[in-house]
Amino acid sequence: MMNNAADPTESAISRFLDETAGLLRRLDRPAIAQAKTILLECHTHRGRVYTLGNGGSASTAQHFACDLAKYVIPPGQPPFDVRCLTDNISLYTAWANDANRDDVFVNQLRGLLTPNDVVLAISVHGGKGFSNDLIRAIRFANETGARSIALVGFDGGPLHREASCSILVPVESTPQTEAIHLVIEHLLMQLIKDDLAKTIAHG
């Protein structure tokens, strides 16, 4: 006898994917274009991109740094100067252990950050809760005259309000926010890669 009841696993898959598709349609496309422009201008002016995040967002920050350093660059052209501030775990934990934990990123930026640079912060909750380290890094960037980009979710938090450019995933879901941040990352990389290739072709 055939069971016509809906498979709960298939229903959950459909709900998640349908929500993902809807969120992608609602992303702020001008903000994505602005982020692309900020990153390209940083490359043109030989600035440095600093990426940062906590938890799963730290891995997305590492992904940004990897793709900016390698994927987007046409053969024979200079790469982005990019650092992920969680990559050097000895330095990160030294600052976290020996100074105010909230300044763990700012202390890595002091004496290095210039107005030609970009600080790119990734946070599901936009810096709320235990992510004062991200908020302080964005504020330090703004005070220094550097540009700042935030990828956030939920209501965006302080990062959404204070970054030079912020891309919000409008959902109260950590899995959806982190998944769509990676889509945004890959979209930005493809846009940058295409623009750099056109510059070389027309140069």
pLDDT band for position 6 (cuts 50, 70, 90): confident
pLDDT surpassing 70 at residue 96: yes
**CATH code reported for the domain at 14-202:** 3.40.50.10490
Residues 191/183, Cβ–Cβ less than 8 Å: no
Both tokens assigned to 57:
């967002």
Helix axes 174-202, 8-26, angle to 10 degrees: 50
Give per-residue pLDDT as tens, 9-31.
999 999 999 999 999 999 999 99
Confidence (pTM): 0.94
User: In the chain, what are the domain boundaries?
Assistant: 14-202
Residues 124/155, Cβ–Cβ less than 8 Å: no
| Euclidean distance between CA atoms 60 and 122, whole angstroms | 8
Angle (CA) 12-17-21 rounded to 5° is 150
| Euclidean distance between CA atoms 71 and 50, whole angstroms | 17
State the pLDDT at residue 1: 44
Give percent of the chain above pLDDT 70.
Answer: 96
pLDDT surpassing 90 at residue 102: yes
DSSP structure class, residue 188:
H
